[in-house]
Amino acid sequence: MGKKVFVNKANITLEGPFTVERAKELHLLLVERLDGMPEQAGGGAIDLCRVVDIDACGCQLLALFLENLKRRGAAPMLTAVPPAVRERIVTLGFGELLALQPEP
């Protein structure tokens, strides 16, 4: 299978449940996204508007993704976080790691 090409290299939109049941699938996708990132990528919004659920495993994966992006010079930021997902992230203690912005 050929390597995926991402049309929008700057912004990423994630979708569906971000949970342990999909951990491997999500991991593959995030690794592909990371591979597709140019060096010194600059900013990058990670849109969570279509994420319906998140658990500790999903939070950890997202945090690792963000840290890896930072290593590549990006300044990732979560955007459009649904309230339920936001609440779950905070409850799980990942607010700081995911640099969750205060609610507008």
Partner 1 sequence: MTTPSGETNSVDLNRFNQVFFEECAENLAEMEQILISLGDREPDPEQMNAIFRAAHSIKGGAGIFGFNDMTVVTHVMESLLDRLRNQEIPFAPEMIDLFLEAGDAIAMQLAGHREGKAVDQEVIDGVRARLQQAIDAGGRATAPGLPADHAEGAPPPQEELLPRRCRLAFTPDPEIFARGIRMESIISELAELAEPGEFHSSARLMDVPELAEVDPERCLTRWEFTMLTRASREQILDVFMFVADEEQLQIEEDEPVDRRTPEGEPAPEQGIVPAAGRRAYDSNETAPGAFGRRGNETEASFRVNVTKVDQLVNQVGELLITQAMLSQIAVGLDPILHETLQRGLVQLERNTRDLQGSVMSIRLVPISIVFNRFPRLVRDIAAKLGKQVELKTTGDSTELDRGLIEKIADPLGHLVRNALDHGLETPETRAACGKNPTGTLQLSASQVGGRIVIDVIDDGAGLNRERILAKALECGIPCSEAMSDEEVWQLIFAPGFSTASEVTDLSGRGVGMDVVIKNVQAIGGRVQIASEAGKGARFTISLPLTLAILEGLSVAVGEEKFIIPLNVVIESLQPKPEQLKSVNGREVVQVRGEYLPILKLHRIFNLEAEVIEPQRGILVLVEADGERGAILVDALLDEQQVVVKSIETNYRRVEGSAGATILGDGRVALILDLPELFTMHKKL
Min CB(54)–partner 1 separation in Å: 9
Give the count of beta carbons closer than 10 Å to the beta carbon of residue 13. Answer: 14
Among 41, 68, 77, 99, interactor with partner 1 by CB under 8 A: 68
Closest CA relative to residue 62, chosen from 43, 82, 34, 87: 34
Cβ 83 to partner 1 shortest distance, Å: 16
30 scored as a contact of partner 1 (CB under 8 A): yes
22 touches partner 1 by CB under 8 A: yes
